[in-house]
Chains A and B, each alone.
Chain A
């Protein structure tokens, strides 16, 4: 009987993609902290910086620690800003670009096209449908805080994972012009 009760709890807490209730993400900016837990690394790699998102210009990902580096992720791809201000397109990153944009956009149609989604109380479990994406990520979890994404965890098939913490929404957006 207790087993049945737990099963009911599990089912009721898990919603399939047809009842998806992904909070639409408004334009936002803030700080991030990224922890890369990679087995071959002697210690986790931690980076910090500022990010911003809006639907038109995409994501600006400005790392401040341990090094200054800016990425612009939008529908045109992933661009790396060089020291001279020029931007280089990183073609090997297209899947990641698509993925992050889909997560931030909250576009339900796109989300359902790319992922098999399961919702629990305040976070979502995403499992890639596309075989190519599945080679890169076994699963992704997204945690919301006040309807804004507060944590993204990317799990690779080889056991490595990356935690990205978003928080302390700053007033100032990282100043980078999108291409």
Chain B
């Protein structure tokens, strides 16, 4: 693919990259994503780093309040500075400020749960969600990060990238399967992305949660780069006509958000 307007999916390492900073944030991510506070030994096992190295990083993160000691002494969890940074990122996001009223109107018109997310390597990060109250099951909050390959939001964003780049990103990836329908191999993912690219949206049935139907469309900046994705989730099963109507509402909303994003927009 020639000069893509969307930045590469693959990890970027400028010549200035500071390795120890990368490792520190890797440790922070592992601790934040664990369902319970972790010990130094557990972090070392998950990162493959030596315990004494992990300790130095953890102490630094703790000095600056990005980590705090858990209830059990010797365990660590995200600290107030991490929470505050995440909160400020949402609170001050130019994209979210633009999108919020559009998404809210969409939610009111459709009566379905409406989400917005950005791509973060093999994951998506939710930025906003307007929720239908009657839905149960897994918990999704703004800031939460879930695998891109099994979500409509993730697929519409991945589909904007060169298939070879997607293949490189997922090389050696152990695809977690959440339901019977999850796209759980690279071949299936690439085939699914090709279809998404051709049709311009992602529609998927119960890949993350059984019984859920999700649709998503990309949000493009003025230069044609994909900045984010917006989509709906429903616990109800709808007929083709209402799905199509919902899609045109989504496409219109995506265009309204994208119209204010300059070329080369970074979310």
A in complex with B: no
Q: Which residues of A contact B (CB under 8 A)?
A: none
Give B residues with C-beta under 8 Å from A.
none
